[in-house]
Structure formats: structure tokens, C-alpha cells
Amino acid sequence: MFPPEIYRQRRDRLRRQISSGVVLFAGNEPSPINYADNCYPFRQDSSFLYYFGLDEPALAAVIDVDEGAEYLFGDDATVDDVIWTGPQTPLCEKAHQVGITQTAPSSDLPSFLKKASDHDRPIHFLPPCRDDQILKISRLLNVPPQTLGERVSESLIRTVVAQRSVKTPEEIEQIELALSITYQMQTAAMKMTRPGAIEREIAGAMAGIAIALGVRFAFEPIFSIHGETLHNPFHNNVMKAGDVAVNDSGAESPLRYASDVTRTIPVGGRFTQNQREIYSIVLDAQESAIAAIRPGVEFRDIHRLACVRLVAGLKELGLTKGDPDEAVEAGAHTLFFQCGLGHMMGLDVHDMQGLGEDYVGYTEAIHRNPAFGWNSLRLAKAVEADYVVTVEPGIYLIPTLIDRWKAERKCEAFIDYDKVEAYRDFGGVRIEDDILVTDTGARVLGPPIPKTIAEVETLASA
């Protein structure tokens, strides 16, 4: 955990932004797989972690804005518990570790909240993501789960998003710690990728690296020779020479900060000519995008820049034609790049997505563009110093999409479908790094993970 002052300062700042009432943070409960004693690995709610640091189940906390008081609700282990779990830190000691002096048993929480609501004091809470959290909060507040969404505090969402968006030095340090583990995962994957290996052998080795270092994946990894499937969760293909494998994976840091890196690896150690060309285009788009990031620049403009670089590169190969800016204006790039350029990253890999992506990536003036491709851009607004964002352009040849566009003769003025046909089984290439917005520009976080064609080929042929 961070020192208690960190959590106290975070809560003080939050309290100053909320005008009145009480703020409820419900920690996550254990999540059973098939019965109560056999659970998925515990992951604390990220906002609870941010303000209260305690990475364990069955806790809740309340900030009383009007009285300036903070309470941790939970239960001490009983002797019967200790037989199974071993000695446990007392609740008051846990509270002390994060700078809280007042504790109470969980059973006191409903009456505490009822008292507040009887006095017409607002009870602020964030939108719960998990179903069990929805039920828990609806029970605590005596509100039907179906209407709980109407009670969510928009002012709290906005305050928390603003606060969590700007990363402090100790948070950057955690992200870079996560990236140092991801470096090990990614370089091991490059070395293990060879003809005859099964994707899951590499995915499993990466999981082993993370677990042996005391952490886990920040998200289920994508490791696939079908990188054209944007979120491909399967790892069962046998790799053969001439394939490229997309490895989109990242470890969590010990304090649960995410990392999220993608590399594309030639199976057999050498990219084919087509792969080199497509890879170079994606790398150029990624580096151009990173170079354009600085405070005040809208991320949707960075996204557009990357799209234009991709289309300009594809034009050199003959897959696109016409003016690249006009092609992007017409949406022609989305045949090859169907998603957004990146997202915020922090305690969540898609940071704060659970609070509502539009609160995180958009503003009252910058709305989500409903056009295909643009509609999945998670971040559009201007970036600020100390934001952490991913930059992850890609080129994805999706046969189903090619067939549909071709049949509809979509963007025919900008796409050479005969040439595209020659690439229909190409697969996909994605290159992703985690970027800190600095006062004057941007910095790629973490140890440099091999990225140029020469660097990747060296490791992949080792």
C-alpha cells in the first residue's frame, strides 16, 4: 500500500469537491466460481482501492462530507475464520494503515445510511459494475436494483474521474513497475514464438511470469495468429512459419495499476515482405501519434492523424487510393482499422470505464462520433499533463468485413478491392505502448520493449 497520507490526501481532495452529504464506497465481495469457498482471484473495486487502498473483500467506507469524518465498515475475523485463514489484521489496524480512525461492524452500515437519508442528506455513490455490487448497494439503500442507476451521483462520478485521470508520481512508478513485468512477459513471448508452438503455451508462460512475480494479468491476454479479431480470447492455434502473432497483454503492478502493451511477432523469426510493409505502416502511425501528443491536444485529432498515416501507408502498397485525408473523412480507413487509437489507463486497463466511458473520454462539447470506427474511440477529449493513455494503432484484415464492404462497393473511390483481396488472409498487426503526457509532450512509459522490425526479429529468431 501507499503511505496513509496518500489516501488521506486523495479523500481530502474528494471531500472538498463534494458539496454535502455522505459518500459511500462499497468494496468488492468475493466472487464464487461454483460455490462460496471456491472463488475467482479477488480484485478490489478500483475506486475503493484509489481512496482506501485495502485490497481485500467485504469492506465498505463512508466519507461524511458535512462532518469531515471517515468510517471503515467491516468485520474482524472470528476464531472459526482464523482456523481456515490464519491470523488476520484487525479492522482498526487496517483502517489505521490508510489513515482512518473510525471503524464499525458491517451490520451498522444500513442504519448509518438510513439515518443520513432520514435527514434528507444526499448519499453519493458510483455506478456499481458487478451484479453483486448492484444488489448490495440496493439493499443498503433500500432501493430496487432496477432503479439504482437513477440514484448514482453524477457529481461524484465527475469528481472521481477528474481526480483519477491525473496520475501522481507514485502512480506512475506503479505503472512502470507493471511495465517492467510486462517487458519480461513480452520478451519471453517473442523468444517462445516458433513454428509448432501452440498459442496457449506462450499465454501460459506469460501468466507464469506474472504469478511468479506476485501479480496477475491486468486483463485476459490476447495472443493469437488471428490478430485481426480485435479481442480474440482463444489460444489454441498451432503457429506455423509465415504467421504473425499479436500479443496484447499486460501485468498489474503490486498495487493493481495496469499496463497494456501489444507487440506483433513473426512466427519463424522473420517477417515476410508483406508483413514488413504492413508492420512499418503501423509503426509509423504509432510513432507519429506519440510524437503529436502534448497537453491540450484532443485525442480524437491524434486518432485522426494515426488513421491518415495508416491510409497513406496503405496507399503506397496500392490498397487505398486518393487523398488520405479525404479517405479518412469518408471512413475508408475503418476497413483496416475498426477501433479507437487508445484509452486512458490507470487502476483499470480501460481506466474508469465502469464509471461511464463518456465521462472519461468526452466532454459536454466533445461528443462521441456515431460513425463506424469512431464510435469505439474511448478517448476523444484533450489530454492533460499526467494523463496516462495507450496508443495502439493496427491494421486488421477481417475477411467478413472485406466481403461486406466489397459487396456494398463501400468507399470504392478510396479502396482497391482487388488489391485488398490479395491480403484477405493476412491477419492483423497492432503495436501498443503506454504513454505519459508530460508538460511539453509525451513519454513512453516502462523499459523499452523491442519494437522495431530488427529488434523484434532478433528476439523472435533467438
For position 264 contacting Mn ion by CB under 5 A, the verdict is no
Q: Is-contact 331 370, C-beta < 8 A?
A: no
In the complex, least distance from residue 257 CB atom to Mn ion, rounded to whole angstroms: 14
Closest CA to 15 of 207, 189, 218, 155: 155
In the complex, least distance from residue 222 CB atom to Mn ion, rounded to whole angstroms: 10
List % helix, strand, coil for the chain (3-state, nearest 5): 45, 15, 40
In the complex, least distance from residue 345 CB atom to Mn ion, rounded to whole angstroms: 7
Q: Which of residues 188-217 bind Mn ion (CB under 5 A)?
A: none
Q: Is-contact 44 55, C-beta < 8 A?
A: yes
Taking the least distance from each CB to Mn ion, the nearer of 249 and 390 is 390
Taking the least distance from each CB to Mn ion, the nearer of 127 and 342 is 342
In the complex, least distance from residue 256 CB atom to Mn ion, rounded to whole angstroms: 17
Taking the least distance from each CB to Mn ion, the nearer of 243 and 260 is 260
In the complex, least distance from residue 248 CB atom to Mn ion, rounded to whole angstroms: 7
Taking the least distance from each CB to Mn ion, the nearer of 104 and 389 is 389
User: Quick one: how far is CA 178 from the chain centroid?
Assistant: 13
**Residue 57 to residues 24, 31, 85, 92, Cα–Cα distance (Å):** 16, 9, 13, 15
Taking the least distance from each CB to Mn ion, the nearer of 47 and 390 is 390
Q: Which of residues 322-381 bind Mn ion (CB under 5 A)?
A: none
Q: Where does this chain touch Mn ion (CB under 5 A) — which range of 75-83, 230-238, 365-373, 389-397?
A: 389-397
Closest CA to 251 of 444, 446, 453: 446
In the complex, least distance from residue 254 CB atom to Mn ion, rounded to whole angstroms: 21
Taking the least distance from each CB to Mn ion, the nearer of 334 and 390 is 390
Taking the least distance from each CB to Mn ion, the nearer of 21 and 393 is 393
Positive or negative, the Cα torsion across 443, 447, 451, 454? positive
Three cell numbers written together for 450: 523491442
Q: Is-contact 267 195, C-beta < 8 A?
A: yes
Q: Where does this chain touch Mn ion (CB under 5 A) — which range of 14-22, 233-241, 257-265, 287-295?
A: 257-265
Cα separation, 77 vs 48, in Å, equals 21
Taking the least distance from each CB to Mn ion, the nearer of 264 and 390 is 390
Cα separation, 221 vs 233, in Å, equals 7
Taking the least distance from each CB to Mn ion, the nearer of 260 and 357 is 260
In the complex, least distance from residue 343 CB atom to Mn ion, rounded to whole angstroms: 6
Lookup result for grid cell 452529504: 21
In the complex, least distance from residue 250 CB atom to Mn ion, rounded to whole angstroms: 8
Put residue 415 in one of left, alpha, beta given phi > 0 → left and psi -120 to 50 → alpha. Answer: beta
Q: Where does this chain touch Mn ion (CB under 5 A) — which range of 38-46, 90-98, 331-339, 388-396?
A: 388-396
Length of the chain: 462
Taking the least distance from each CB to Mn ion, the nearer of 250 and 269 is 250
In the complex, least distance from residue 350 CB atom to Mn ion, rounded to whole angstroms: 7
In the complex, least distance from residue 220 CB atom to Mn ion, rounded to whole angstroms: 12
Give the contacts of 194 (CB within 8 A, at least 6 positions apart): 239, 267, 268, 269
Candidates 70, 171, 243, 260; binder of Mn ion (CB under 5 A) is 260
Three cell numbers written together for 214: 506476485
Q: Is-contact 148 134, C-beta < 8 A?
A: yes
What SS3 state is found at 390?
A: strand
Q: Where does this chain touch Mn ion (CB under 5 A) — which range of 78-86, 320-328, 385-393, 434-442?
A: 385-393
Q: Where does this chain touch Mn ion (CB under 5 A) — which range of 71-79, 273-281, 382-390, 405-413?
A: 382-390
- What's the alpha-carbon Rg for the chain, to the nearest Å? 24
Phi then psi dihedrals of residue 39, to 5 deg:
-110, 160
In the complex, least distance from residue 392 CB atom to Mn ion, rounded to whole angstroms: 5
The footprint of Mn ion on this chain (CB under 5 A) covers a number of residues equal to 2
Candidates 159, 247, 264, 390; binder of Mn ion (CB under 5 A) is 390
What SS3 state is found at 298?
A: strand
Q: Where does this chain touch Mn ion (CB under 5 A) — which range of 54-62, 239-247, 258-266, 416-424?
A: 258-266
Q: Where does this chain touch Mn ion (CB under 5 A) — which range of 28-36, 264-272, 291-299, 387-395?
A: 387-395
Positive or negative, the Cα torsion across 176, 171, 286, 278? positive
**Would you give the binding string for Mn ion spanning residues 44-63, x where CB under 5 A is met?**
--------------------
Taking the least distance from each CB to Mn ion, the nearer of 72 and 349 is 349
Cα separation, 159 vs 10, in Å, equals 11
**Residue 128, H or E segment:** none
What are the residues binding Mn ion (CB under 5 A)?
Answer: 260, 390
